[in-house]
Chains A and B, each alone.
Chain A
């Protein structure tokens, strides 16, 4: 009996592995890098509702686009913004108008939480001093305190985070779901380990991945992965470490398009809902994508 390949299209992967109202969806990538945009655009095409969106410690267009599409009921995050390009327009509007519930946390809450989720740990205690900010005051349900059994001191804790589905971009993967990051991993590997279901999108499918790089570089093991989607330029307009840089002009165009419902709807229609994912790269233009590649390429 042969091994089962997990390769499928973005459409198949999202339709098969993401529920119509996903309990909790984690999206990988950090700031304008390694955002799994091919899968995120497909979530929007299929109109999958997300009860809870979970981001890395710093989300970007990955969260903002889903929020703008009206799919997110609540978000667990420590930051949504566009770094040097400014604030995240849909995130900001949704929080200010209360059309989305915000579960605001800090960076360690996500990192510790995913670690706890991955390892079956009941919680992770914070180091002393991390309770001095105001987050636990506005969010006492999420930030709970207990007694340190060693010192008797009161300590703040982070609860386990166990996403039902995680969408993660790896630069290369084999057909069985083993995958690697060519640059920074951010918190993506923690998401892979903590989630019930993992969909990986990759720039390139490399059948002999472990032989090419050595197995120690392939640190996403296939048994944690449910589906693999080949998605060249699948992070655009964000960067894919080692492959291409972010498309600053497109990100600015996006931020501008978010100003009115009409222009945002036009953006969605043009780049997301009006085309299948396979046509996205063509819509951006081969020449433009290749120009982004030149800097990021490291072979």
Chain B
């Protein structure tokens, strides 16, 4: 453990990057340093034909080297192309244009619903969050990759206090009845583990624990009954190729130093 050669944020970027397929189109919003690192990395390794759109800047395939903190920074515009934001919003509604939508929240529940609005009652919030921006489009994305930099029982909850980014709603029946174009949440990446969703119950399921993390630790820090398969593999460490790509994209540690 002591001679770990990568940061947790870098491992999270690797998990996301491996999930992205060549030829797909991904999109992300604010505070997306890790997803941006993942997309750039995927392009440099196994998915040279991946497209990604950097949120509000409208930039398509920013050539970020180094990464930047803000999704709307003009550095993003050193890119293949750039769209006006209303055009991006239009396409987010299309239902077949975007394969992967990166989402997250102050709270994420067992069905993958996300909340960026408030903790507690909307009318009398214990904590007022920033607001939901584009997360309501999640049901129209091909699939959703959820990430959080804090894996604890306050963030991963039984049910979100406010649903601002719908996942599998209240479960499989409700979800199926809506007949949506998207396939819902596919992957959740946290500092402790990677999770996916049980095909039948649509409940979050432990996929792999990061090196040095135990299954018990994940269960303890999760605020709902996570599905734990009999055998839980360890998340593969970043390969040399992955790390090399990552360090080239992020020499200053914009993503690396997050966690």
The chain A residues found within 8 Å of chain B, CB to CB, are: 30-33, 57-58, 77-81, 83-84, 87-88, 91-92, 95-96, 104, 106-108, 111-112, 115, 126-130, 132-135, 138, 183-187, 189-190, 239, 241-242, 245-246, 295-296, 298
Contacts and interface: CB of A to CB of B under 8 A. Distances in A.
A106 B135 contact: yes
22 contacts: A57-B134, A78-B133, A79-B133, A95-B128, A96-B127, A107-B132, A107-B134, A112-B89, A127-B95, A128-B180, A129-B166, A132-B139, A132-B166, A132-B169, A133-B164, A133-B165, A134-B117, A134-B162, A184-B58, A185-B58, A185-B85, A187-B86
A184 B57 contact: yes
A31 B30 contact: yes
B45 to A, nearest CB: 26
Interface stretch (B66-74, B194-202, B234-242): B66-74
Contacts of B162: 134
A239 B133 contact: no
Contacts of B93: 108, 126-127, 130
B131 interface: yes
Contacts of B125: 95-96
Contacts of B178: 128-129, 132
A96 B77 CA distance: 37
Contact of A133 (B59, B77, B163): B163
B136 interface: yes
| Top 4 A-B residue pairs of the complex, sorted by shortest distance between their CB atoms | A81-B130, A79-B131, A129-B139, A127-B93
A285 to B, nearest CB: 23
B89 A107 contact: yes
Contacts of B116: 79
A295 B73 CA distance: 11
Interface in B56-97: 56-59, 69-75, 77, 82, 84-86, 89, 92-95
Interface residues of B, number: 52
B133 A107 contact: yes
Given A31-B56, A58-B56, A133-B136, 13 more contacts: A31-B30, A31-B70, A32-B72, A58-B30, A58-B72, A78-B131, A83-B30, A106-B136, A107-B132, A126-B93, A132-B136, A133-B165, A296-B74
Contacts of A111: 85-86, 89
Contacts of B164: 106, 133-135
A33 B73 contact: yes
Given A58-B30, A87-B130, A242-B74, A130 B140 contact: yes
B129 A87 contact: yes
Interface of B: 30-31, 33, 56-59, 69-75, 77, 82, 84-86, 89, 92-95, 116-117, 122-123, 125, 127-137, 139-140, 162-166, 169, 178, 180-182
B137 A184 contact: no
Contact of A91 (B57, B117, B128, B132): B128
A108 B84 contact: no
A129 B180 contact: yes
A30 B165 CA distance: 21
Nearest to B30: A83
B184 to A, nearest CB: 11
Contacts of B137: 107-108, 130
Contacts of A57: 56, 85, 133-134
Contacts of A58: 30, 56, 72, 131, 133
A111 B88 CA distance: 10
Contacts of A80: 130-131
Contact of B136 (A81, A92, A135, A296): A135
Nearest to A219: B84
A242 B76 CA distance: 11
Nearest to B258: A84
Q: Which of B122, B133, B134, B181 has the most CB of A within 10 A?
A: B133
A135 B117 CA distance: 10
A91 B128 CA distance: 9
A78 B117 CA distance: 9
Contacts of A246: 70
B77 A84 contact: no
A246 B70 CA distance: 10
B130 A106 contact: no
Contacts of A132: 136, 139, 163, 166, 169, 178
B77 A241 contact: yes
A92 B128 contact: yes
Contacts of A81: 30, 130-131
Nearest to B161: A134
Nearest to A55: B131
B73 A239 contact: yes
A130 B59 CA distance: 24
Nearest to B163: A134
Contacts of B122: 104, 134, 138
Contacts of B131: 58, 77-81, 104
B85 A30 contact: yes
A30 B169 CA distance: 30
